A = this chain, B = another copy of it.
Amino acid sequence: MQSKQKITRDITDCADCPLRVNEYFRTFTRRELDFMREFKVGEFHAEPGTGIIGERTTAPHLYTVLDGWAFRYKTLADGSRQILNFALPGDFIGLQTSMFGEMDHSVDALSPITLCVFPREKIWELFKNHPELAFDATWLVAQEEKVLGAHLTSVGRRSARSRIAFLLLHLYGRCEALDLAGSNRMKVPFNQQHLADLLGLSLVHTNKTLKRMEASKLMSWQKGTVRFLDRDTLAEIAEFYEPASSPRPFI
């Protein structure tokens, strides 16, 4: 499960962090930058399908996604899987181990992914000496909670069609902010099974609904690229409201 993973010390300096060139993220002070450079102990690369952290395990590390996609999920006894959310660049992974000692879900790489690695025990130092970063950490967790609430609402109360529309619009918003999408086009590394497992649907029904949405010229999904053909109607179907974007912190 961890065969294709490797931690490397051949890392990008936080000062040259490729994420920071994006105005989506807030800027660091010099002092914060110095701390982060010390906090970061390495980088971690994983290929699609490999596990990053396992449910009910503990890990000595925390991660920030530097590049690529991952997904967080829970597995039930009958083998079915509920995907909780996708993790994109800037997202934090594994804070649960710092808070509760172990994860209550797993995280796998969805695309080739690069993670910044931080030692778990130093999280306390962050809280103690860098209240701004501590605030950011809380912000990130709260953001994650918000997204889970949105997904819960989708799965609990929306139709298959509406769930799909909502999720794709949601992802488009996130990707757009990261310059990973634009002009109503978005490259996605997941397949229909992932989509079904996130939306609480079966693969077959997901596929049929998707086909119907393509037939009605709402969207298309080919070769890993999603195109929005009628975003207004999709937003209406999904009851999706563009969230006001505030400058996003990250760690």
Q: Interface residues of A: mostly helix, strand, loop or mixed?
A: helix
Q: Which residues of chain B are within 8 angstroms of A105 by Cβ–Cβ distance?
A: 149
Chain B contacts for A138, CB-based, 8 A: 95, 99, 127, 134, 137-138, 141
Contact with B along A133-169 (1 / 0, CB 8 A): 0110111011111101111110111100000000000
User: Would you give the shortest CB distance from A66 to chain B, in whole angstroms?
Assistant: 22
Number of copies: 2
Indicate if the CB atoms of B141 and A82 lie closer than 8 Å.
no
A128 and chain B: residue at smallest CB distance: B131
Whether a CB of chain B sits under 8 angstroms from the CB of A74 is: yes
In the complex with contacts A148-B149, A150-B104, A80-B200 CB distance below 8 A: no
Q: Which residues of B contact A100 (CB under 8 A)?
A: 142-143, 146, 246
Which of B76, B101, B145, B156 interacts with A145 by CB under 8 Å?
Answer: B145
Check if A82 sits within 8 Å of B153, measured CB to CB: yes
A231-251, CB < 8 A from B: 239, 243-244, 246
A96 at the interface (CB under 8 A from B): yes
Partner of A157, one of B135, B144, B151, B200: B200
Cβ-based interface call for A77 (8 A): yes
Which residues of the partner chain B approach A156 to less than 8 Å between Cβ atoms? 82, 155, 199-200
Contact with B along A79-93 (1 / 0, CB 8 A): 011101000000000
